[in-house]
């Protein structure tokens, strides 16, 4: 996203800070912001097409809903629309959609992770090998029970410290479960990377001494479409 882009911001502008924060960020870049908000899918399709929107900010779920609605209305999304890039947050991008966005629709995107209290905590790079921890925050992965820091590769709660002069937070527990890697990234950045969010604290079940998270099971089963119901 850069100066001159026409960006559709589909994050909510009320009760949550994402809409206003990203509105300001896009304007600082010199982009024109369309405060679309959520819902009204058919109207969003019309706005995206008629105003020749080049950038999208919002969730992967809503972006795919807009694309599907455009196709249901008889449009050829790749040929008739100008969307070329997206900044996605609020939910994880499924592996099945990563290639589809770029190959089928020509949309380059970055994935981000943050919370309403803490703001942006991590973000993708071109390598798509995990989300780099944002500067200006201290991010830890801790054992939800002992609260001790965990090494790379072990799943624990994301805990962050931010140094906001108005709203400082020290070791704020997000409730999200993730793990990180300290291996070098192909993009050249040296920061640690959150690999992905795997669930929420309290969802995990301990089986034979190992924590098993529902989203990990769902991720494995997603590779077997012939399985329609499962129980672990």
Question: Using one digit for the tens of pLDDT, what is the confidence trace for 177-213?
Answer: 999 999 999 999 999 999 988 888 887 776 666 678 8
CA distances from 174 to 38, 51, 90, 92, 201 (A): 24, 38, 13, 16, 9
Contact present, 172 and 160 (Cβ < 8 Å): yes
Give 38-92 pLDDT, tens digit per residue: 889 999 999 999 999 999 999 999 999 999 999 999 999 999 999 999 999 988 8
Measured distance CA(177)–CA(200) in Å, rounded: 5
Which residue in this structure is represented by tokens 């959609």? 97
- Averaged pLDDT score across all residues of the chain: 91
CA dihedral over 31, 80, 35, 93, signed as positive or negative? negative
Say how many C-beta atoms besides its own lie within 10 A of residue 151's C-beta.
10
Measured distance CA(5)–CA(99) in Å, rounded: 23
User: 121, exposed or middle or buried, with CB in 10 Å at 0-12, 13-18, 19+?
Assistant: buried
- Rounded to two decimals, what is the model's pTM? 0.83
Structure tokens at 141: 């992965």
């Amino acid at each position: 996203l850069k100066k001159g882009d026409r960006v559709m911001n589909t994050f909510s502008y009320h009760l949550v800070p994402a809409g206003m924060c990203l509105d300001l960020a896009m304007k600082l870049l010199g982009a024109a912001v369309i405060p679309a908000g959520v819902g009204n899918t058919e109207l969003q399709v019309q706005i995206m097409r008629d105003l020749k929107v080049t950038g999208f900010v919002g969730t992967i779920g809503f972006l795919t809903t807009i694309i599907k609605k455009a196709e249901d209305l008889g449009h050829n999304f790749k040929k008739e629309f100008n969307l070329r890039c997206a900044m996605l947050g609020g939910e994880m991008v499924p592996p099945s959609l990563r290639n589809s966005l770029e190959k089928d629709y020509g949309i380059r995107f970055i994935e981000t992770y943050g919370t309403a209290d803490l703001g942006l905590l991590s973000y993708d790079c071109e390598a798509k090998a995990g989300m780099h921890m944002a500067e200006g925050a201290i991010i830890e992965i801790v054992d939800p029970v002992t609260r001790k820091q965990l090494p790379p590769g072990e799943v624990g709660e994301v805990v962050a410290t931010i140094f906001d002069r108005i709203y400082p937070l020290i070791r704020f527990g997000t409730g999200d479960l993730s793990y990180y890697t300290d291996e070098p990234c192909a993009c050249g950045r040296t920061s640690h990377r959150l690999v992905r969010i795997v669930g929420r604290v309290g969802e995990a079940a301990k089986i034979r001494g190992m924590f098993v998270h529902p989203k990990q099971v769902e991720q494995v089963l997603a590779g077997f479409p012939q399985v329609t119901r499962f129980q672990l």
